[in-house]
Structure 1
Amino acid sequence: MQKGIIIKGISGFYYVKIEEGKIIECKARGKFRNNNITPIVGDRVFIELIEEDKGIIKEIIPRKNLLIRPLVANIDQAVVVFACKKPDIIFTLLDKILIQIESYNIKAIICINKSDLDDNNMFDKVKSIYEKAGYTVIKTNALKNEGIDDLKSLLKDKISVFAGPSGVGKSTIFNKIQNKIKMETQDISSKVKRGRHTTRHAELIDIDNNTFIADTPGFSNLDISFIEPKNLQYMFLEFKDYIGKCKFTSCMHFKETGCAVKEAAHNGLISIERYNAYIEILEEIQNNRRKR
């Protein structure tokens, strides 16, 4: 058997890139249907060749994660794209996207695009807040190819998805880092130019050896009501060193006394902006649950 990764699925056929680089058209074994298991783009699989370029998926290696939008398995990281301006950065939106990414235990990279419009040092502000939190923050000007090579180096040997609001330049960046699929650049939405046949799931674009990007933006649904209030603290990376050091083991880092997280924020060890975002989102989740 040969090991590979599913890069595309169309009408029950799965296209598996095997380790030697060939793409094999495969069907799934009947046992998957019988057990209600559907192979997903991003799945690492073992296949058996029945012809030179055709095979059968015999085994799906257990997934480390599974995203719903886009429907992709085994994502390594998400590139969260915002713009310095047009549109302006909404920090609450950025934090909610990061919370969703953390809930899947996926690494996030923050990319601030349209650096040519940065006349109020917005990139420096984002960098100071989020690098302290533990995130990699880079800047790009996709129209002029600035920062694209830095971004490509961060994508190497990983499966990545892109996230972020409309109009920030995700599609332009996507088109700069690969030339196999052309994504339309629009202010309101982005769609991929394809032929008559469309994939049911996202497609993985191979941009280098063992380096893939999903062809659709992810994390478009920003409903975080699925997060339990007590678990929100774990979605803020910078809290990690202080959780468990509070006076009360059940501390929510809000109104309690003897809170190590709150003390770290007030002493500048944790960004006060991020701490305030945590409180705002915590209250939002709690209030929404009271209304149920």
Structure 2
Amino acid sequence: MKTGRIIKSISGVYRVDVEGEMYDTKPRGLFRKNKFSPIVGDVVDFEVENVTEGYIQHVHERKNEIKRPPVSNVDHLILVMSAVEPDFSTQLLDRFLVIAHSYHMRPRILITKKDLASIEMQQKVTQLLNVYEDMGYKTQFISINDDIEHVFAQWGDGLAVLSGQSGVGKSTLLNKYFPDLDIETQHISKALNRGRHTTRHVELFERTHGFIADTPGFSALDFDHIQKDELKNYFMEIHEYGESCKFRDCNHINEPKCNVKIEVEQGNITQFRYDHYVQLFNEIANRKERY
């Protein structure tokens, strides 16, 4: 019996890395019977059938899991956005942050294309990143000519997942770090101001301090797994100041004696963050009413 991590999954075959040795494995029928499928990132035990093949017997407990695209045991969730083409959006960033926290992951913010942004845009992005750094988020603002090895090294050990909308430069970063990969990239669609989907499946690539995954690009964020009453927990500063609200179940919308609203008025919670919270709260509330 060997133990390794699934680094790739195609057509029911799971490639498992065991300290640099690769095995193409298949799950036992027991998994199908229990309607459970291994996913990329899983640590598994498998029996070796021959030199490079085997059958998965056991999947270790996952410490976390992203549903779409499926990947597990993520140590660092890198939210990749661009300064321009597509333009940096705090609203989109806040939505990605909500998704990250809903999966119990502490994300890092990586902004690309600094070299393509005007001085004014660079200053604007830097000022906005300072807001997130004050909340405790780790941020990076990089140009394509920066030392990518150094950029990746700052994330620490373990599995790092690159996530973000298409066209922000995830595949470009990986191509620079792994020149032999030649991952497909596409130009930004001017009409949609976003890239078209290029990455088709999740795959882990070995880096100096662990693994890195490029996930399929997506522009529509799915909040179906989040209840409206949970949302306040995924805005860090709103959760913190909400502890002092008069009512424990305060959602910081129309409730009386809401400390969060007071902190917004006093400038301790940034207005745009609160506005994004209210907008997303209403979206989730209306969705639940429809169903």
Which residue number in structure 2 is paired with residue 61 of structure 1? Answer: 60
Which residue number in structure 2 is paired with residue 157 of structure 1? Answer: 157
Which residue number in structure 2 is paired with residue 129 of structure 1? Answer: 131
Instruction: Tell whether the 8 Å contact from 2:78 to 2:163 is kept in structure 1 after alignment.
Output: yes
> Matches of 1:128 and 1:63 in 2, distance apart?
33
Which residue number in structure 1 is paired with residue 100 of structure 2? Answer: 101
Which residue number in structure 2 is paired with residue 264 of structure 1? Answer: 263
- Structure 1 residues 74-131: Cα deviation after superposition (integer angstroms, max 9, x where no partner): 2223222222223222222221121112111122111111112142212212212211
How far the C-alpha of 1:219 sits from its partner, in A, is 5.3
> Matches of 2:32 and 2:288 in 1, distance apart?
37
Instruction: Tell whether the 8 Å contact from 2:45 to 2:58 is kept in structure 1 after alignment.
Output: yes
Determine whether 1:13 maps to 2:39: no
Question: Which amino acid in the other structure matches residue 216 of structure 1?
Answer: T
> Matches of 2:219 and 2:69 in 1, distance apart?
9
> Matches of 2:218 and 2:74 in 1, distance apart?
13
Instruction: Tell whether the 8 Å contact from 1:76 to 1:160 is kept in structure 2 after alignment.
Output: yes
> Matches of 1:233 and 1:49 in 2, distance apart?
48
How far the C-alpha of 1:246 sits from its partner, in A, is 1.0
How far the C-alpha of 1:291 sits from its partner, in A, is 4.3
How far the C-alpha of 1:147 sits from its partner, in A, is 5.5
- Structure 1 residues 171-220: Cα deviation after superposition (integer angstroms, max 9, x where no partner): 2122123234222222122425xxxxxx8x522111235x2222333554
Instruction: Tell whether the 8 Å contact from 1:6 to 1:42 is kept in structure 2 after alignment.
Output: yes
> Matches of 1:167 and 1:10 in 2, distance apart?
24
Secondary structure of the 1:78 match is: strand
> Matches of 1:11 and 1:85 in 2, distance apart?
37
Which residue number in structure 1 is paired with residue 238 of structure 2? Answer: 239
Query: TM-score, normalization: structure 2?
Result: 0.86
Question: Which amino acid in the other structure matches residue 139 of structure 1?
Answer: F
Query: TM-score, normalization: structure 1?
Result: 0.86
- The percentage of aligned residue pairs carrying the same residue is 37
> Matches of 2:264 and 2:274 in 1, distance apart?
6
Identify if the C-alpha distance between structure 1 residues 161 and 258 changes in structure 2 by more than 3 Å, giving closer, same or farther. same
Which residue number in structure 2 is paired with residue 195 of structure 1? Answer: none
> Matches of 2:135 and 2:54 in 1, distance apart?
46
Identify if the C-alpha distance between structure 1 residues 86 and 250 changes in structure 2 by more than 3 Å, giving closer, same or farther. same
Secondary structure of the 2:35 match is: coil
> Matches of 2:243 and 2:135 in 1, distance apart?
18
Instruction: Tell whether the 8 Å contact from 2:4 to 2:44 is kept in structure 1 after alignment.
Output: yes
Instruction: Tell whether the 8 Å contact from 1:69 to 1:220 is kept in structure 2 after alignment.
Output: no
- Structure 1 residues 140-175: Cα deviation after superposition (integer angstroms, max 9, x where no partner): 112x2x152343113442222222233322221221
How far the C-alpha of 1:266 sits from its partner, in A, is 2.8
Identify if the C-alpha distance between structure 1 residues 152 and 141 changes in structure 2 by more than 3 Å, giving closer, same or farther. same
Instruction: Tell whether the 8 Å contact from 2:197 to 2:217 is kept in structure 1 after alignment.
Output: no
Secondary structure of the 2:40 match is: coil
Cα RMSD (Å) = 2.3
Question: Which amino acid in the other structure matches residue 84 of structure 1?
Answer: A
How far the C-alpha of 1:139 sits from its partner, in A, is 0.6
How far the C-alpha of 1:248 sits from its partner, in A, is 0.8
How far the C-alpha of 1:231 sits from its partner, in A, is 0.6
Identify if the C-alpha distance between structure 1 residues 233 and 150 changes in structure 2 by more than 3 Å, giving closer, same or farther. farther
> Matches of 2:174 and 2:33 in 1, distance apart?
38
Which residue number in structure 2 is paired with residue 183 of structure 1? Answer: 183
Q: Matches of residues 172-251 of structure 1 in structure 2 within 5 Å? A: 172-186=172-186, 187=188, 188-192=195-199, 201-208=201-208, 211-217=210-216, 220-251=219-250
> Matches of 2:126 and 2:107 in 1, distance apart?
18
Bigger mean CA offset, 176-185 vs 58-67: 176-185
Question: Which amino acid in the other structure matches residue 4 of structure 1?
Answer: G
Which residue number in structure 2 is paired with residue 84 of structure 1? Answer: 83
Secondary structure of the 1:256 match is: coil
Question: Which amino acid in the other structure matches residue 62 of structure 1?
Answer: E
Q: How many pairs were matched up?
A: 281
